[in-house]
Structure 1
Amino acid sequence: MRLGTRWAFGSVPPASVPAELRERIAAAEASFAGEGADRHWTLTWLEGRPIVELDDGTVVRDTIIDAHDADEDW
């Protein structure tokens, strides 16, 4: 079992955040262009895979999924 963690938006992710997600987290933060104060990221593990979610519902895993993007065709 792996434990998750939380950290503040804009700060360096903890060492437990996999390296392959760090660039995607930085890209997601850059898309907010100055917004993000008082937001936090949460790292959880689902079936051994890391999932990082921002308080607003933005999810980072192998791709960035913006919860506010109405163009998703799921």
Structure 2
Amino acid sequence: MQLGTRWPVGGETPARLPDTVVAAIREVEAEVADLDTTNWRWTLTWLEGRPIVELDDGTVIRLGPDGEATAARD
């Protein structure tokens, strides 16, 4: 596993993320728009060359082998 970076909710995503992952991030951010996410951050890690993005609330976005991004909450 390789640590990537962290950024705030609503902030600019890392340029190397696939468009499907960015779209999933924006969908999650729209779902939590009514909450106080001022201190929430996304964390990007890489596992076997695929991005895994986790929000401080436990939401995890993974890129599947088919190129589709899926979001799940713990």
TM > 0.5 fold call: yes
Following the alignment from structure 2 to structure 1, what is the Cα–Cα distance between the partners of residues 2 and 73? 25
Give aligned pairs, total.
Answer: 67
Structure 2: gaps spanning 5 or more residues: 63-68
Equivalent position of 2:31 in the other structure: 31
Structure 1: gaps spanning 5 or more residues: 68-74
- Does the aligned pair in 2 maintain the 1:43–1:53 contact within 8 Å? yes
- Does the aligned pair in 2 maintain the 1:52–1:59 contact within 8 Å? yes
Following the alignment from structure 1 to structure 2, what is the Cα–Cα distance between the partners of residues 64 and 9? 15
Percent identity between the aligned chains? 52
User: TM-score under structure 1 normalisation?
Assistant: 0.78
Task: Give SS of 2:45's match.
Answer: strand
Higher strand share: 2
User: TM-score under structure 2 normalisation?
Assistant: 0.78
Q: Tell which structure's C-alpha radius of gyration is larger.
A: 1
